[in-house]
Structures are given as structure tokens and as C-alpha cells.
């Protein structure tokens, strides 16, 4: 409920005050003024003080009163001020906005902004005056900025609202009114959240955990099978080796074959020994590579570095003084000079080296240089020895290899001889001997035994190769299993994240769907409530043939009551304006109802709002003005109307007059201000004589 | 930090596993690292961008090995051209790690696919880098430098 509006230096008002009627039976305040007298400025004063906004006003930058600006000296300041007093929640509020401008030169009527203030004060129940910490936000809580357009408006807004192309205003108004935009934002946000979790789910669930686990199980099974195979092959090999040994013993029982077999056994033992030696030589070669193999590659770097150091020494950049510790090191057994020359104890050279112990301590660089140089001999020797030893070992290994090859040939020859000899077997002691795939009772000659032996040896060699291949494959599988284990751990972690994302996404979706359903129902509910009030008001005063309705698409339409079809715009301008006012009235009504009901159940707390209208009759004909006049007092608990004299003619004055609690005249003087500037005075009129048409 | 505490992260390429674990040519990663760095230096394979990794080389592994210290000092000095590198274990380890990364890549290319004959392959490779004549010539030059030092140190 607005109580008082005070204007100072605001546009053409130097110092004006309007007290609004708060009488419930005479709830209308009428402000009379001719065109250009300042009616629209008063409407703008409401918007400016509350929201720092102006509409439909010429030269909005010229806020300061021109007379005040003209009277001000250059460099001095003029303060523009609007104050609105109103009651909200039974508390008296004072909202004040000030803007101070500084005059720059004699022709400056705008001024440069130097200060602005916005304050809100309210008197608490205990009589204390308090200020909210954020006054702008506080005001917007009382009346949302967007709603202000519905409650402070000019005649053209009414025409716009009823126009067929402006139906968005209707829906927007309802949504704003009931806080539905909050739900919409929540729905949009939930949709975004859902999309975010869907993306997380897609990203996290990209690896197929199941596929990895299946692969791991398959590989583990394959590994187990191979290990079992290797074990089997080892057992087979061991058995075959025992059988070969048994055959060897059987062959040794024979007369002529015995000697050959014994020889073969000797050769096989010798070959085994040589193979062990060859393995040792290979180990030696590997040690050589590990310990000194690198020298070949760094010798040039060492030689070049030593050359540079020698050059630095020659240039005197490295002093020749020696560290005592280093001299001691050289003299330690076996004593050797830097160049590698032996330093026999007591010899002339040893004495010379010893004499170079000094009190001077060499720097780190000197020490590093000396250390490198001192090892040159050792490095050179190690390098030479490396190649000598490699040559020696490789040669030995070659000789051994040749010997192994020769022995293997002999062994092979013996086998052939035994087989060719084919010594008959008459009395063979086979007690306790069992050889697979060989019926010992059926063996007739040494050739049979030798053939069996050769076959088993061949199988053993084949098994050795198979086992090596299997072992390599097992190693490969183990590596893959290890890798899979890591991938599975990673995929499981991602799976957990994916599960969480899925649950969150489903949660967001469920809430969004619920909210959408609720939004739809709530919106329709509000529409029906508004619709009911609009039609009540409309049907009371408008043509009975028509019906005003807010469609389910939120269009404010005028329908033919009998046929339910839309009425053409040209045929229903007056009715549309009535419908628009009825609609605004319905919103004020709903806001009040909302305010007085349980506030916790809705998003908008509502309020008791006045309606401030500038020239609400527009270009309506007399008949429709009369009808609109019937509507206006019912639109809100408090109505402020700004009219020209011609608009206040009957039937308007007749209809509204009894409901008017206060009249004001705007007395405009085009050049009555300072230096001939325009000025408007506001005069309260106790009872204005009604002008009749 | 004292020099004995110097350490350097290095990239442990798959060739380390092959030469150390699979073929037992090198008893440990330290020897393999020095070999790889030396090969890298010789082949001019140097990786300043991607040389750190799972491995960690400690200076204390070098401190008791004169040949390793000489190699690290010479490579670091030749690479930087700064005599200070001769005394700085951190620089030496870092340069070695960079050449080791390049050398390991070279060895991987040359011997990565080799299964049974890595030992002889490496031996042939080493031998191909140093003919007896080259060694004789190199030895003579080194001998002269040592003698030059020797004379200046121990003559009045």
C-alpha cells in the first residue's frame, strides 16, 4: 500500500509531494494533468525510485530539474531525489533514491554524475528504524522487477497486452507471478545435470570390464594349461631319460655292442662337460660386456676430455699442485705413476712423486682433472684387455664348439654302428626294466634297442625345445595377465564411477520429470485461477456475446460465447482492453491471495500491490470508457490513475468519482521556472468539480 | 646436497628388461644404464625431452667405480663443454640419463627383436666399433696426454 511520493528536482518537478488514498472505500487517487504536464514522469518516478528504470520518456539523461540546473553555478551540484513511502508486512517503509550531478558549464542541463545513493529504511514493530544490508535485493523481494511492468503502466501497455502478437506477456506474467521461472530454471538445470552425468557415464563406461575379465580368465586358463603341459613334458622327459639309461645298460650286457656303448657313454659325458665349459665362457663374455663393453663407446670422449684438460693445464688454468691424498694414492702398492710407469719404493721416480706432497689444497676442478688423467692408463688397459679377453674367450668357445661337433659326430657314428651290427640278443637280463612302447621279450637284436634309444633321444630333444617354447609363452601370458590386472583395476574404478554417474543421472531425470509434471499442473492451476477472475470481471461489464479467456496456450483471447470461436481483433478492441485490465486485476488478486495464504507452499510469497496507470483509456470510445471505469476500482486495493481532463469526462468521472479518495492537479508552466525553464506544481484538490462531457 | 646423495630419474625402456632379466647379459640396471648412455653418446642419440621415468640412478652407484666416473665425467663435459660438469654429479647423471634414453632406443631398434643371440649380437656390435688399428692409434694419443701431464707434474 503506497502512502506518499516525494519528488525533488526530478525532471520538471522541483519539490512535489503526493499522498495516496488508503481508504478502502475510496481507493482511487486521480492525478489530473494535460498532455506534457508530467503524468508519465510520475509513473516513471515509481519505476526509478524502486528499480532505477525509466520508460517512454524523452531525453532520459536529463533527470535533473532544468530550473535547478539553470540556477546552479558551474561546478556546483544538484541532487535529484525521489522518495516512496509504503506499507509492507505492516511495517512502514521509506525507499529513497538520490542522484547528484555536477554542472560542467553554463549550457549544461544534464550534469555529470558524481554520486548516487539508494536507501531503504523500515520501522520495526518495536519502533526501531532499520536498513536492510542489500537494499536493491530487498526491494526486488517485495516486488519483482518484471512484475512492476504489470502494476505501473501506461495506456499503450494495455493495448500491447491485448494485441494478438503479444501473448508471451501473458504467459510470462503468470510465470513471474507465481515464481514458475524458478521451477523452469530448476528443470533446465536438472536437464543439464542429467546430460553431465550421461557424459560421465559414457566416458567412464567406455572400457568393457566384462571383456577384460573374460580375457583374463581365458589367459589364466591357458597359462594353467601350459604349465600343466610343461610339467607333463618334464615328467615325460625324465622318464625317457631313465629309459635311455636303461637301454644303455641293456646294450652294455651285449658282447660286441658293449664296447661301443661304453665308448658312446664316455663321449656323451665329455660332450656334456664341454657344453658346460661353453656355457661358462658365454657367462664370462657377458660379464665382460657388462663391465667393460661400454668403454669402446666412451674412449673417444675420455681422450678428448683429457686432451682439453692437458690444454687447460698448459695454459695454467689448472694449477700443477697436487693434492697430498692423491700423491699418497699414487704411492700405494702397487705404486704407479699417472703415465702408468711403476714407482718402485725407494726409486728416484717414487722419491720425486713423494716430494710433490705440498701444503696447497687443489680445487674441485683440479681434482676432477687429475682423477680423470690418473685413470687414463687404467682405462686404456681395461679397454685393451676387454678385446684381448673377448678374443681369447671367443676363440676358446669356437674350439670347444668344434670339439662338441666332432664328438656329436662320433656319437652318431656309434649309434649307426650299433644298429648296423645288429647283434642278436639271446639272454638279456631285463629284470625290473620296463620301457614304454618296447616289448623287451620280443627284442631280438641290439638294433631294436638302438632304434628305440634313438627314437627316445629324439623325443627328448623335441621335448626340450617344446618346454623352452612353452616357458616363453607362459612368460608372455604372465606379462599379459599382469597388464590385464592393471587394466581391470582401472576399469573397475571407472565402473564404480559409471555406476555412480548412472544413479545420479537417473536421480536427476526422476526429479526433472516430477518437476515438469508439477510445473505443468501448477501452471494450469494458476491459469485457471486467473481465467476465472478474468471472465468474472469481463462478463460483468463487457458485451455478453463475448467471453474473455486465457487459453491453455496462455493466449488472452476474446471468444464468441455461443460458438466458442475467436473474435476478430478489429471487432473487439474495447473488449480486449477490458480483458487486459481484468487480467492485470486478476494477477493483483492472486498476488494478494497468495500473500494472505500459506506462503510456504508456493514459490512466490505474493503481496498487496497498487496499480498505477497513466492514461488507461487510450483511444476507447465513450461506451467502453464507461465499462473500463467500472473495472478500474475493482482491480486492486489501491488504484492511482493519471488522466487528462478530456479522459475524465462522463461516464468516467461518473463511474469512478464516488471511489476517488484524493485528487491532484498537475499545474504545468512551460517557462515559469528559473531562467524560463518548464516547471510542474502538484496541488491537492479537496474536491474537484467534475467535468461533464 | 652432497654428491653422494645425487640421484636422477631415468626412463627404463623395455630393452632393460630384455638385456637384464630375459638374457642375463647385464647383472643389473646400473650396468645396462651406463652401456646405453655410452652407446647413445657414440651414436649421437640424445633425448632431452623424454628421458625421465620409472628408474632412479644414484650417484653412489658410480662413486666406487672409477671407469663409470670417468665415462660420466667425460660424456657430461663433452656434451656441455663446461669444465664444471667434471665435478658436478647432478649434471653428469642428467646428461647420462638423456644419452641413456637415446641409446636404449637405438639398442631396442637393433636388438629388440633378437631372442637367442643377443650376447653375440652385442659383441659383434662392440667389435665393429673398434678395429685393432683404431685402438692402437687411440692408445697412443692417450699415452701422450698422460705423459704430458706426468712430465709437467713431476718435473721441476
B66/A320 Cβ within 8 A: no
Percent of chain A with pLDDT over 90: 33
Residue A321 has pLDDT above 80, yes or no: no
Name the residue in chain B with its Cα closest to that of A352: B154
Query: Does residue A446 surpass a pLDDT of 80?
Result: yes
Q: Residue A664 — φ and ψ, nearest 5°?
A: -130, 145
Output the pLDDT for position B90.
Answer: 94
Confidence check: pLDDT of A76 > 70: yes
Chain B interface, best mutation among A288, A294, A324, by max B CB count within 10 A: A294
pLDDT at A236: 93
pLDDT at A690 over 90: no
The pLDDT value recorded for residue B4 is 64
Q: What is the mean pLDDT of chain A?
A: 83
CB A471 within 8 A of CB A224: no
Which residues partner with A641 through β-bridges?
A30, A613
The count of other CB atoms within 10 Å of the CB of residue A570 is 6
- pLDDT confidence tier of residue A359, bands split at 50, 70 and 90: very low
Q: How are the residues of chain A apportioned to helix, strand and coil, as percentages rounded to the nearest 5?
A: 60, 15, 25
A619 within 8 A of A625, measured Cβ to Cβ: no
3-state secondary structure A543-563: CCCEEEEECCCCCEEEEECCC
- Contact in structure between A610 and A24 (CB atoms under 8 Å): no
Contacts of B154 in chain A (CB under 8 A): 337, 349, 352-353, 356
Q: What is the pLDDT of residues B44-89, one digit of tens each?
A: 999 998 899 888 999 988 888 889 999 999 999 999 998 889 989 9
Closest chain B residue to A283 measured between Cα atoms? B25
Provide the 8-state DSSP code for A332.
S
The nearest alpha carbon in chain B to A378 belongs to B67
Q: How far apart are CA B95 and CA B72, in angstroms?
A: 8
Chain B positions touching A295 (Cβ under 8 A) are: 38, 67, 71
- Cβ distance B129 to A296 less than 8 Å, yes or no, reads yes
Query: What band does A351 get if pLDDT is binned at 50, 70 and 90?
Result: low
Specify the pTM: 0.48
Query: Are A298 and B35 an interchain contact pair (Cβ–Cβ within 8 Å)?
Result: no
- Note whether A291 contacts B66, CB cutoff 8 Å: no
Report chain A residues whose CB lies below 8 A from the CB of B77. Answer: 301, 305, 308
Confidence of residue A629 (pLDDT cuts 50, 70, 90): confident
Indicate yes or no: CB of B71 within 8 angstroms of CB of A302. yes
A376-388: average pLDDT: 90
Q: Is the pLDDT of residue A360 over 50?
A: no
Which of A5-9, A358-362, A579-583, A627-631: highest mean pLDDT? A5-9
User: What is the count of residue pairs from A and B with beta carbons less than 8 Å apart?
Assistant: 166
**B interface mutation test: which of A288, A292, A293 has the most B CBs within 10 A?**
A293
CB-nearest to B31 from A290, A322, A382 is A290
Per-residue pLDDT, averaged over A567-573, amounts to 65
Per DSSP, the three-state class of B56 is strand
Sort strands A639-643 and A611-614 into parallel, antiparallel or unpaired: parallel
Query: For B146, which of A293, A352, A373 is closest by C-beta distance?
Result: A373
State the smallest CA–CA distance between residue A219 and chain B in angstroms.
21
Length of chain A: 693
Retrieve residue A521's grid coordinates: 499442473
Q: A514-564 pLDDT, tens per residue?
A: 888 888 887 778 778 888 888 887 887 777 778 888 877 677 778 887 877
Cell 476478430 sits on residue: A568
Q: Which among B64, B82, B60 is positioned nearest to B8, based on CA atoms?
A: B60
Q: Is residue A374 within 8 Å of A362, Cβ to Cβ?
A: no
Three-state secondary structure of A346-412: CCHHHHHHHHCECCCCCCHHHHHHHHHHHCHHHHHHHHHHHHHHHHHHHHHHHHHHHHHHHHHHHHH
HEC-encoded secondary structure of A47-93: HHHHHCCCCCCCCCCCCECHHHHHHCCCCCEEEEEEEEEEEECCEEE
Query: Rounded to an integer, what distance in angstroms lies between the CA atom of residue A15 and that of residue A330?
Result: 110
pLDDT at position A399: 96
Element (H, E) at A153: strand A152-154
Using a CB-CB cut-off of 8 Å, the residues of chain B touching A330 are none
Report pLDDT digits (tens) over A247-290: 888 888 888 888 898 999 999 999 999 999 999 999 999 999 99
Residue A691: pLDDT band with limits 50, 70, 90: very low
% of chain A surpassing 70 pLDDT: 86
Q: Which H, E and C letters describe A634-692, residue by residue?
A: HHCCCEEEEECCCCCCCCHHHHHHHHEEEEEEEEEECCCCHHHCCEEEEEEECCCCCCC
**Predicted local confidence at residue A435, as pLDDT:** 82
Rounded Cα distance between A637 and A661, Å, is: 12
- The mean pLDDT value for A38-50 works out to 92
Residues contacting residue A239 through CB under 8 Å, at least 6 positions apart: A436
Please indicate whether, in this complex, the C-beta atoms of A307 and B66 are within 8 angstroms of each other.
no
- Min distance B55 CA to chain A CA atoms (Å): 18
Q: Is A106 helix (H, G, I), strand (E, B) or coil?
A: coil
Residues 6+ apart with CB under 8 A from A378: B66, B67
Q: With an 8 Å Cβ cutoff, are A379 and B67 in contact?
A: yes
CA distance A620 to A659: 21
Least CB–CB distance from A340: residue in B24, B119, B146: B146
CA-CA distances (angstroms) from residue A298 to A59, B20, B61, B141? 88, 21, 18, 15
- How far apart (Å, rounded) are the C-alpha atoms in residues A576 and A672? 42
Q: Which helix (H) or strand (E) holds A613?
A: strand A611-614
Mean pLDDT, rounded, for A367-372: 80
Cα separation of A138 and A565, whole Å?
Answer: 45
B86 vs A285, A337, A365: nearest CB: A365
pLDDT interval class at A363 (50, 70, 90): low
Look at residue A617 and give its three-state secondary structure: coil
Q: What is the C-alpha to C-alpha distance for residues A453 and A564, in angstroms, rounded to an integer?
A: 112
pLDDT higher than 90, residue A354:
no
Q: Does residue A54 have a pLDDT over 60?
A: yes
Distance from CA of B88 to the nearest CA of A (A): 9
Q: Of A314, A364, A375, which is closest to B70 when you measure between CB atoms?
A: A375
Average the pLDDT over A222-247 and give the result. Answer: 92
The average confidence (pLDDT) of chain B is: 88
Residue of B nearest to A355 (CA): B154
CB contact under 8 A, B153 and A338: yes
Q: Residue A642: beta bridge partners?
A: A31, A614
- Report chain B residues whose CB lies below 8 A from the CB of A307: 141, 145
DSSP string, A280-314: HHHHHHHHHHHHHTTHHHHHHHHHHHHHHHHHHHH
Element housing A210 (H / E) = helix A209-252
pLDDT digits (tens, 9 = 90+) for A637-683: 899 999 988 888 878 888 888 999 999 999 999 888 888 888 999 99
Judging by beta carbons within 10 Å of its beta carbon (0-12, 13-18, 19+), is residue A520 exposed, middle or buried? Answer: exposed
* Residues A534, A577 contacting (CB under 8 angstroms): no
One digit per residue, the tens of pLDDT, for chain B of length 156 reads: 445 688 999 999 889 988 998 888 999 999 999 999 999 999 999 999 889 988 899 998 888 888 999 999 999 999 999 888 998 999 999 999 999 999 999 999 888 776 555 889 899 999 999 888 988 888 888 888 888 877 766 554
Q: Does A567 or A353 have the greater pLDDT score?
A: A567
Q: Mean pLDDT: which of A56-60, A311-315, B10-14 is highest?
A: B10-14
A118 DSSP β-pair partners = A97
Q: What is the DSSP letter of A342?
A: B
Amino acid at each position: 500500500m503506497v502512502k506518499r511520493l516525494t519528488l525533488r528536482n526530478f525532471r520538471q518537478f522541483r519539490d512535489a509531494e503526493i499522498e495516496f488514498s488508503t481508504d478502502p472505500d475510496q481507493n482511487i487517487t486521480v492525478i489530473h494533468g494535460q498532455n506534457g504536464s508530467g503524468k508519465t514522469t510520475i509513473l516513471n518516478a515509481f519505476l526509478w525510485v524502486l528499480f532505477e528504470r525509466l520508460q517512454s520518456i524523452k531525453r532520459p539523461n536529463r533527470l535533473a530539474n532544468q530550473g535547478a540546473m539553470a540556477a546552479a553555478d558551474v561546478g556546483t551540484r544538484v541532487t535529484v531525489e525521489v522518495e516512496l513511502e509504503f506499507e509492507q508486512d505492516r511495517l512502514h517503509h521509506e525507499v529513497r533514491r538520490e542522484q547528484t550531478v555536477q554542472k560542467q558549464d553554463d549550457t549544461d542541463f544534464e550534469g555529470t554524475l558524481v554520486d548516487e545513493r539508494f536507501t531503504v529504511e523500515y520501522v520495526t514493530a518495536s519502533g526501531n528504524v532499520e536498513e536492510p544490508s542489500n537494499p536493491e535485493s530487498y526491494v526486488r523481494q517485495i516486488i519483482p522487477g518484471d512484475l512492476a511492468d504489470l502494476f505501473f503502466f501506461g495506456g499503450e501497455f494495455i493495448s500491447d497486452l491485448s494485441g494478438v502478437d503479444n501473448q508471451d506477456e501473458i504467459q510470462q506474467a503468470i510465470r513471474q507471478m507465481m515464481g514458475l521461472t524458478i521451477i523452469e530454471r530448476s528443470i533446465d538445470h536438472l536437464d543439464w545435470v542429467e546430460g553431465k552425468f550421461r557424459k560421465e557415464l559414457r566416458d567412464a563406461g567406455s572400457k568393457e570390464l566384462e571383456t577384460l575379465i573374460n580375457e583374463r580368465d581365458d589367459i589364466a586358463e591357458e597359462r594353467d594349461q601350459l604349465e600343466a603341459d610343461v610339467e607333463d613334458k618334464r615328467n615325460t622327459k625324465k622318464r625317457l631319460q631313465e629309459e635311455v639309461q636303461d637301454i644303455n645298460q641293456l646294450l652294455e650286457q651285449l658282447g660286441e655292442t658293449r664296447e661301443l656303448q661304453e665308448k658312446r657313454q664316455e663321449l656323451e659325458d665329455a660332450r656334456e662337460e664341454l657344453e658346460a665349459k661353453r656355457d661358462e665362457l658365454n657367462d664370462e663374455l657377458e660379464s665382460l660386456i657388462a663391465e667393460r663393453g661400454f668403454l669402446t663407446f666412451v674412449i673417444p670422449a675420455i681422450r678428448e676430455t683429457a686432451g682439453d684438460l692437458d690444454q687447460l693445464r698448459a695454459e695454467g688454468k689448472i694449477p700443477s699442485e697436487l693434492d697430498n691424498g692423491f700423491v699418497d694414492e699414487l704411492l700405494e702398492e702397487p705404486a704407479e705413476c699417472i703415465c702408468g710407469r711403476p714407482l718402485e719404493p725407494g726409486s728416484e721416480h717414487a722419491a720425486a712423486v713423494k716430494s710433490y706432497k705440498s701444503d696447497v689444497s687443489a680445487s674441485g676442478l683440479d681434482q676432477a682433472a687429475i682423477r680423470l688423467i690418473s685413470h687414463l692408463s687404467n682405462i686404456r688397459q681395461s679397454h685393451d684387455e676387454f678385446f684381448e679377453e673377448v678374443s681369447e674367450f671367443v676363440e676358446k668357445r669356437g674350439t670347444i664348439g668344434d670339439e662338441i661337433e666332432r664328438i656329436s659326430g662320433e656319437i652318431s657314428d656309434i649309434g649307426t654302428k650299433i644298429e648296423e651290427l645288429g647283434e642278436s640278443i639271446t639272454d638279456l637280463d631285463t629284470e625290473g626294466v620296463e620301457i614304454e612302447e618296447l616289448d623287451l621279450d620280443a627284442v631280438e637284436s641290439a638294433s631294436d634297442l638302438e632304434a628305440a634309444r634313438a627314437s627316445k633321444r629324439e623325443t627328448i630333444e623335441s621335448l626340450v625345445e617344446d618346454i623352452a617354447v612353452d616357458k616363453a609363452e607362459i612368460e608372455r601370458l604372465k606379462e599379459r595377465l599382469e597388464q590385464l590386472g592393471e587394466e581391470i583395476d582401472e576399469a573397475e574404478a571407472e565402473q564404480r564411477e559409471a555406476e555412480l554417474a548412472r544413479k545420479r543421472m537417473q536421480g536427476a531425470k526422476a526429479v526433472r520429470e516430477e518437476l515438469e509434471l508439477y510445473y505443468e499442473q501448477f501452471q494450469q492451476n494458476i491459469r485457471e485461477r486467473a481465467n476465472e477472475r478474468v471472465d468474472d470481471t469481463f462478463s460483468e461489464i463487457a458485451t455478453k456475446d463475448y467471453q474473455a479467456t486465457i487459453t491453455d496456450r496462455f493466449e488472452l483471447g476474446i471468444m464468441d460465447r455461443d460458438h466458442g470461436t475467436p473474435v476478430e481483433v478489429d471487432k473487439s478492441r474495447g473488449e480486449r482492453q477490458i480483458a487486459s485490465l481484468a487480467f492485470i486485476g486478476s494477477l493483483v488478486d492472486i498476488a494478494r491471495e497468495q500473500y494472505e495464504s500459506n506462503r510456504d507452499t508456493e514459490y512466490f510469497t505474493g503481496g498487496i500491490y497498487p496499480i498505477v496507470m497513466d492514461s488507461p483509456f487510450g483511444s476507447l470510445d465513450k461506451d467502453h470508457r464507461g465499462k473500463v471505469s467500472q473495472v478500474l476500482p475493482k482491480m486492486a486495493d489501491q488504484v492511482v490513475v493519471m488522466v487528462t481532463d478530456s479522459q475524465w469526462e462522463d461516464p468516467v468521472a461518473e463511474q469512478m468519482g464516488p471511489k476517488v479518495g484524493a485528487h491532484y492537479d498537475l499545474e504545468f508552466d512551460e517557462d515559469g521556472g528559473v531562467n524560463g525553464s518548464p516547471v510542474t506544481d502538484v496541488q491537492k484538490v479537496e474536491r474537484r468539480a467534475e467535468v461533464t462531457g | 646436497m652432497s654428491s653422494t646423495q645425487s640421484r636422477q630419474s631415468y626412463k627404463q625402456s623395455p630393452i632393460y628388461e630384455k638385456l637384464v632379466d630375459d638374457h642375463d647379459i647385464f647383472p643389473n640396471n646400473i650396468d645396462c644404464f651406463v652401456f646405453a648412455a655410452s652407446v647413445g653418446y657414440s651414436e649421437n642419440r640424445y633425448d632431452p625431452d623424454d628421458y625421465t621415468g620409472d628408474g632412479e640412478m644414484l650417484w653412489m652407484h658410480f662413486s666406487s667405480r672409477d671407469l663409470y666416473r670417468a665415462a660420466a665425467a667425460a660424456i657430461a663435459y663433452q656434451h656441455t663443454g663446461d669444465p664444471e660438469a667434471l665435478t658436478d654429479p647432478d649434471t653428469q647423471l642428467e646428461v647420462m640419463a638423456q644419452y641413456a634414453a637415446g641409446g636404449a632406443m637405438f639398442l631396442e631398434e637393433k636388438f629388440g627383436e633378437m631372442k637367442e643371440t643377443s650376447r653375440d649380437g652385442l659383441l659383434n656390435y662392440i667389435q665393429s666399433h673398434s678395429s685393432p688399428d683404431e685402438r692402437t692409434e687411440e692408445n697412443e694419443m692417450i699415452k701422450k696426454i698422460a705423459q704430458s701431464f706426468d712430465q709437467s707434474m713431476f718435473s721441476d
